[in-house]
Structure 1
Amino acid sequence: MIEIQQNDDDNNLSKEGVLDTIGATPLINLRRYLGTADVQLYAKMEAFNPGGSAKDRPARAMIEEALESGTINKNTTIIESTSGNMGIGLAQACCYYGLPLICVVDPHAQEQNIAIMKAYGAVIERVERPLQGAFLKARLARVMELLNQFPDSFWPNQYSNEKNPLAHENGTIQEIDEALNGELDYLFVATSSTGTARGCQEYLKKRGRSTKVIAVDAEGSVLFGGLAGRRRIPGLGAGHVPALAAGQEFDDVKRVSDLDCVVGCRRMVKYEAILVGGSAGGVLEAIRSMIPELRTKVSAAILHDSGTRYLDTIYSDQWVERELGCSAEELQARIEQPSSVGVTTVQKEPRFTPHLMEQTTI
């Protein structure tokens, strides 16, 4: 068993502001989730960032780089497309630096996330219908319109900004690597803009690590040659291949369903007493599906956010039955059964409203 190296020196120092508390998130040994002692699994808990997610890291990096380079000033309006967490990270950073922010969201954005953005002072722009079958395209089109409308404006563009993966290269994975003394066989990362996975892989390659990076993507995502389809979990997968994802290859890609994500979240609560967000549930179930390959190995998972923002969806039995067609009884049974990731199952058709049939977003 690896003994995690915890560096508490920085944590004991006073901080200059809330943004200085970003990073140095806990790495927790999950001893119960997999139901076996043969796999060492560590979870990087990004919900401990002040804005509540891994997106705090690139949000801060993109805003501070733009300020330092003179690209923006306090009169510049920041405009970004977001499904939730990036909007919150940017809203916090912009609030701290006194910058106006417009977040472009779509119908799949969690209402609680929108409320948090507003609390930080962000203005919310909503697109109601997809463009060419994708809400991301509709959001980006609205971003372009707003950039033309506000002459002094700036688009951080999380989908192509190199500061996105660099924030994880210089932060998230470095913290994991140092805590585990470089002894990491597998790293599991949820993908959307692919900033996190790309940054982590760059770090590992530069240091000659043999760690296998497993990208966890959503069924219905077009990343890595996938086919577009119906999705319900925000922050996982994409309806349009972003610039950061172009040409990216990982050791393996595991596709998870919306129901896999729910099962992972519920199982995490039951066995580890931790509320995690939707993409984290998918990552955890992808890992559980690979137990035979992971025996005697050391694995780490980056869990992007907390489940507290999904109480009305993932943690609601009524929502799961209405949107995913899975009853509370069936869900409880799935939590105890082997992971169904990669296994085709016949599910009854869920009930949904017409506009929710349209493909969700990055």
Structure 2
Amino acid sequence: MTTPPRLRASRAATDRTQSPVLASVSEAVGGTPLVRLDRLFPESGIEVLAKLESMNPGGSTKDRPALAMVRDALRSGRLAAGGTVVESSSGNLGIALARACREHAVHFVCVVDSRTNPSAIATIRALGGEVEIVSEPDPASGDLLTARLHRVEGLLDEISGAVNLYQYGNPANPAAHADGTMREIADATDHHVDHLLAAVSTTGTLAGCSQYIREAGMATSTIAVDAVGSVLFGGTASPRHLPGLGAGVVTDLSLTVEPDTVVRVDALACVVGARLLARDAGILAGASTGGIVHALGTLVPDMRPGTRAVFIVHDSGTPYLHTIYDDQWVHETVGADPGTLARATSELQERARRG
């Protein structure tokens, strides 16, 4: 299958084989491994591949859009060295932007909320970013993301010349995944992917991957894994305990995406999936990836034998060691004790087992 010329032209940007010594840490963004997971749902009869975006320099898939959005703003003249970027983030984009802004001599202010992992906040600060924490939800909607966006607006008024990259609608966000993430997956699989699973928040990853799939003429079904309580794709708003999965507002980018399937997962499913992935595949991933693994396990019975399913490992599980991997936190926050987790894991494995 022929790769579209625009996407072929982007390959040089992420081809690490061109030089054994990279010019900067930004040149290490992309080119992440795609690995086969034979021990995850081994009796399912399907081929499971994982795209390890957790191996980007910042530990997440957000390294791609962060770098793309900063460089796009600089090229367009909206942003210049010495300027300021103000952005809302649940954590990972903030980490990625802190590095990208520092490398391009731009000041960075990140607006997070009370659900953000303390380790993510500490990392942003360590990389030179400034952090503003929103503790109370928006009074009208009861949503923390809405409150973050309002605080961004306030900071833009307070800081002269500050720029908001607006990850929720910036076309450079999905473009980074069309030109990078999905192109790399397609190249590694000879454009043969039956199902692609990605978690959604801004929906930038899924939007970009869907764009490549469409332009390359791939026969790939897209599966959006969303949080229970997210309003994306017709969901109903309710409290969400985990950052980085789902959204309390309908993002501009989500309006450009029509996934073939939407699977909604709760916090318990994310915990079960993440721990199963760590135990059976040796991959320590974050909560959203745990949700993907759980969703995949529930969908396996409807997939024909020999199906190839690829999922995105959106970020590392290290920042979650004191949350989804901690029994006390899970018990207090999710309401599940070790026995409940063991039963839920067994039920998922049994469901994914054929015959």
TM-score (norm 2): 0.92
In the TM superposition, 1:1-362 aligns within 5 A as: 10=17, 13-36=20-43, 38-131=45-138, 132-294=141-303, 295-338=305-348
Structure 1 unaligned blocks of 5 or more: 1-6, 342-362
Q: Percent identical across equivalent pairs? A: 42
**C-alpha distance in structure 1 between counterparts of 2:161 and 2:19, whole Å:** 40
What code does the residue aligned with 2:51 have? K
Please say if residues 16 and 31 of structure 2, whose CA atoms lie closer than 8 Å, have aligned partners that are also in contact.
no
Q: How far apart in 1 are the matches of 2:115 and 2:196?
A: 28
Deviation at 1:248, TM superposition (A): 2.5
Q: Is the CA contact (8 Å cut-off) linking 1:34 and 1:288 kept in structure 2? A: yes
Deviations 1:4-63 (A, max 9, x none): xxx986276321100000000010101111132611010000010001100000000000
Q: Distance in 2 between matches of 1:233 and 1:127?
A: 16
Task: Please tell me the residue identity of whatever aligns with 1:324.
Answer: V
Gaps of 5+ in 2: 1-13
Letter aligned with residue 94 of structure 1 = C
Whole-angstrom distance in 2 between the partners of 1:106 and 1:8: 36
- CA gap of 1:72–1:25, structure 2 versus 1, over 3 A, is same
- 1:214 maps to a residue whose letter is I
Q: Note the alpha carbon deviations across 1:142-170, whole angstroms, 9 max, x for none.
A: 10010011121110100010000000000
Rounded to whole Å, the distance in 1 between the matches of 2:256 and 2:173 is 16
Question: 1:340, 1:312 → 2: CA distance?
Answer: 28
RMSD: 1.6
Q: Which is further off, 292-301 or 59-68?
A: 292-301
Amino acid of the structure 2 residue aligned with 1:116: T
Cα drift, residue 293 of structure 1: 2.1
Against the structure 1 CA distance between its residues 134 and 11, is the aligned structure 2 distance closer, same or farther, given a 3 Å change threshold? Answer: farther
8 Å CA contact retained: 1:285, 1:339: no
With structure 1 as the length reference, what TM-score do the two structures score?
A: 0.90
Question: Which one-letter code corresponds to 2:105 in the other structure?
Answer: G
- The alpha-carbon distance between structure 1 residues 181 and 139, as it changes in their structure 2 partners (threshold 3 A), is same
**Structure with greater proportional helix content:** 2
Measure how far apart 1:264 and its partner are: 0.4
The equivalent residue for 1:352 is: none
* 48 and 129 in structure 1: CA distance in 2 versus 1, 3 angstrom threshold: same
